[in-house]
Amino acid sequence: MRSETAGDVVRAKEMDETVSEFFRRTILKIPLTEMMTILKTWNFLSENQLQTVNFRQRKESLVQDLVLLCEENRASLNDAALLDIIYTQFHRHQKVWDVFQMSKGPGEDTDLFDMEQFKSSFKKILKRALKNVTVSFRDAEENAVWIRIAWGTQYGKPNQYKPAYVVYYSQTPYAFTSSSQLKSNLPLLGQTFETHNSTTPLQERSLGLDINMDSRIIHENKTEKERVQRVTQEIFGDYPQPRLEFAQYKLETKFKSDLNGGILAEREEPLRCLVKFSSPHLLEALKSLAPAGIADAPLSPLLTCIPNKGMNYFKIRDK
């Protein structure tokens, strides 16, 4: 324990103010319904401390109480960064992620991966390149690590409110990044990863219905079922779809019919029609249509183009 000089005390107080403001704003972001879960996951405030807080009061007062508790525990910037990571993990679907695939350079060996070594050298490399940067780590499932990076400049302290996130699955060559800022720092991240490659292929996960657990049940259309599964997998992939809640199609087309004539067929004006699909998870619902036998595979490209085009409002007109 070193003796504190007056200067130190003043500096410590200053740091606390920006840190406690960071705490305040981070905790304020958390919806009340998730507050307990996130605080417990964070595991920084003890059970006893949490019990002293009234979670039913107005949010601003609740946040104030929690920040006071953090100060009591002498929370550091790192603790706040960790809380921010946890918040982001809970709200990962609200961010836009880019995927990077790393490739092995010629002649490089496959090293055995050590997580702790990776973390320490990652931090070292970043700090060497840019002095003012906050780097925090949190381990996650399946050999993954969440990295939070708050960027500063040569003379300015890191901006904690626009961090970048990198999620790296160590047994794979893939890293996911999300940034709240300009992507000017990406090349730096890329360089940082150069020493840590892995050519282990991704575990294959297949979406397979359990066909036939009882041998007394025979599926006559097995080939067709397999075709549907294959087509669905080709279009939608193996992994969960992005979460989308609705898609809207505005049609302005002339009436087309296989039957000859009819009143509508002679109509010059296009018909106007609005079709809206809504669901708690629209793309997963569309993905399950053909396997469930509700629609034929492949589905209409109007439905399957949604992730590719990044659109969910469509106007369909005659050519």
Partner 1 sequence: MSVLRPLDKLPGLNTATILLVGTEDVLLQQLAEAMLKEDCTSELKVHLAKSLPLPSNVNRPRIDLIVFVVNLHSKHSLRNVEESLHHVDAAFFLGKVSFLATGAGRESHCSIHRNTVMKLAHTYRSPLLFCDLEIEDFRATMAQRLVRMLQICAGHVPSVSALNLLSLLQNSENPSLEDL
The SS3 assignment for 81 reads helix
Contacts of 304 (CB under 8 A, 6+ apart): 235, 236, 286, 298
Q: Which of 99, 217, 259, 274: binder of partner 1 (CB under 8 A)? A: 217
Q: Which of 109, 214, 258, 268: binder of partner 1 (CB under 8 A)? A: 214
- Under rule CB under 8 A, residue 259 binds partner 1: no
- Output 5 or 223, the one with its CB closest to partner 1: 223
- Under rule CB under 8 A, residue 216 binds partner 1: yes
* Among 139, 142, 127, CA closest to 192: 127
**Which pairs from 13-21 meet CB under 8 Å and 24+ separation?**
15/77, 16/71, 19/75, 19/76, 19/77, 19/80, 20/67, 20/70, 20/71
Give CA–CA dist 154/133, Å, rounded. Answer: 10
Stretch that binds partner 1, among 95-103, 105-113, 156-164, 220-228 (CB under 8 A): 220-228
Q: Which of 294, 308, 310, 318: binder of partner 1 (CB under 8 A)? A: 294
Q: Are 271 and 254 in contact (CB under 8 A)?
A: yes
Stretch that binds partner 1, among 45-53, 142-150, 166-174, 285-293 (CB under 8 A): 285-293
Q: Which of 102, 115, 130, 295: binder of partner 1 (CB under 8 A)? A: 295
* Among 15, 91, 8, 81, CA closest to 44: 81
- Under rule CB under 8 A, residue 173 binds partner 1: no
- Under rule CB under 8 A, residue 221 binds partner 1: yes
- Under rule CB under 8 A, residue 54 binds partner 1: no
Residue 68, CA atoms < 13 Å, CB-side half-sphere: 10
- Under rule CB under 8 A, residue 315 binds partner 1: no
CB of 299 to partner 1, least distance (A): 13
Binding site for partner 1 (CB under 8 A): 209, 214, 216-221, 223-225, 291-295
